[in-house]
Amino acid sequence: MTMIKVIHTADWHIGQYFFGYDRKEEHIYFFDWLKKVIKEHQVDVLLVAGDVFDSPNPSAESQKIYYRFLREVTTENPNLQIVIIAGNHDSAGRLEAPNPLLEEMKVYIRGMVRKNEEGVIDSQQLFVPLSKNGEIKAWCIAVPYLRQGDYPNAESYAKGVSLLYNKLHVELQQIKEKDLPVFVMGHLQATGSEVSENDRSERTMIGGLECISPEIFDKKDIVYTALGHLHKPQRVSKRENIRYAGSPLPMSFAEKNYKQGVNLIKVENNQLQSIKRLDFEPLANLISLPKRPKPLTEVLEEIKSLPDGKVTKKSPYLELNILLTEPEPSMRNQIEEALQNKAIRLATAIPFKIKTERESKVVTYEELKTINPLEMAEDIFTSRYGGKMPEKIKSLLQIVIHEINL
């Protein structure tokens, strides 16, 4: 009787600065927890489904945190295999550069799709055998975030990605033993996945054009599909074995109610036995106060209920929602004074205006950076011409935005 235990995690975003605050200690805390979980459950394989770093050019400190974790977890668990794919935030080349050294530690990184001189995709490079006690017990199809040119020619991004996954599955059948299970990895947005209505940063930038049908993963020998890109842990289209692990830290205040953790998958006798969610409590929480915008005087009163003490690495981050009826130049000073001696880190104070026929909600700089360009274009069209943007114009605009973002 052979059992394989696999942990699925994703979207670490090492190096993220949260409204100016360095999250180094929070990431170290997560990696210490993850090492304990791997040891406790005697995990055989760790799958990391993209966005290892928050930036394609991570700082030296961020890279130290990453490589220190890899060294420590593989030293403590000599038989552990780690498979990592690049996400859209990662530099594929930078992530793959240390492969010759890391593969000695059983760490396999797939950052890009390679092709031969004739332009044929090198499928073998995306196959990773998963071994236990010296024998191959499963296979992993490790596909990084796909950009234009990474997939077979097709009329759309979604169809091209689907063609690539189907091609890889067919070619894997030619080299693997028939009954061996398959794990699939991807960094993408799947059709039927849930995205927070309040988090523009999580939404697809091209109005759904990049959404991939989960049907491409409905193959008999695929026991589990490990996805990254969306920060909310979830099943896709009610499929138990196609999941997002979610991010270990909330990346915005819209994610403050997400449940962080990793997925533990057990495969026994080549069949999926169980999928269990292992919950993780981040070092620092996120607080939005009040839940709905209120006048500054009321917000200052609510601040009084926050815990007293010194600010530490465990102190929560605070978002204030303030309703303004007129300019308030001393707002920031009043807030900072109210927060003195409070064990809280002020992240952002968002001003709102009462919405009228001629006024809309004030948009902050942070919100402006995450606005979906398609939504912006639709709003402008409606304000100028009335009614909704025609589908033909919307479709053409989606294609232009898609080409710009590749």
H or E stretch at 83: strand 81-85
Range of the domain at 336: 286-371
The answer as to whether 273 is a domain residue is yes
The answer as to whether 400 is a domain residue is no
What confidence score (pLDDT) does residue 210 get?
Answer: 75
Q: Determine contact, residues 115/122, Cβ cutoff 8 Å.
A: yes
Q: What is the CATH number of the domain that holds 106?
A: 3.60.21.10
Quick one: 216 and 300 in the same domain? Answer: no
What confidence score (pLDDT) does residue 198 get?
Answer: 56
Quick one: 267 and 308 in the same domain? Answer: no
Domain ends where: 250, 279, 308? 279
The answer as to whether 382 is a domain residue is no
What confidence score (pLDDT) does residue 201 get?
Answer: 47
Express each pLDDT in 246-265 by its tens digit: 999 999 999 999 999 999 99
Quick one: 269 and 331 in the same domain? Answer: no
What confidence score (pLDDT) does residue 355 get?
Answer: 53
The answer as to whether 275 is a domain residue is yes
Quick one: 307 and 168 in the same domain? Answer: no
d(CA 323, CA 345): 21
What confidence score (pLDDT) does residue 246 get?
Answer: 96
Quick one: 325 and 353 in the same domain? Answer: yes
Quick one: 290 and 271 in the same domain? Answer: no
Quick one: 132 and 55 in the same domain? Answer: yes
Quick one: 101 and 202 in the same domain? Answer: yes
Quick one: 296 and 182 in the same domain? Answer: no
The answer as to whether 394 is a domain residue is no
The answer as to whether 163 is a domain residue is yes
CA-CA-CA-CA torsion for 191, 192, 196, 200, nearest 10 degrees? 20
Residue whose C-alpha is closest to residue 85's, from 44, 47, 115: 47
Ordered per-residue pLDDT tens for the chain, 406 residues: 689 999 999 999 999 999 999 999 999 999 999 999 999 999 999 999 999 999 999 999 999 999 999 999 999 999 999 999 999 999 999 999 999 999 999 999 999 999 888 888 889 999 999 999 889 999 999 999 999 889 998 888 999 999 999 999 999 999 998 899 999 999 999 998 877 655 544 554 444 457 899 999 999 999 999 999 999 999 999 999 999 999 999 999 999 999 999 999 999 999 999 999 999 999 999 999 998 999 999 999 999 999 999 999 999 999 999 998 777 788 989 999 999 999 999 999 988 766 544 444 555 545 655 677 888 788 777 655 456 788 878 878 887 877 776 5
Domain ends where: 279, 297, 330? 279
What confidence score (pLDDT) does residue 195 get?
Answer: 75
Q: What three-state secondary structure class fits 7?
A: strand
Q: What three-state secondary structure class fits 12?
A: coil
Domain ends where: 238, 261, 279? 279
Quick one: 248 and 264 in the same domain? Answer: yes
Quick one: 73 and 149 in the same domain? Answer: yes
Express each pLDDT in 59-101 by its tens digit: 999 999 999 999 999 999 999 999 999 999 999 999 999 999 9
Residue 364: C-alpha distances to residues 90, 256, 324, 369 (Å): 27, 19, 14, 9
- 309 sits in the region (left: phi over 0; alpha: psi -120 to 50; else beta) called left
Residue whose C-alpha is closest to residue 125's, from 138, 107, 136, 140: 140
Quick one: 333 and 234 in the same domain? Answer: no
The answer as to whether 403 is a domain residue is no
Quote the number of domains for the chain: 2
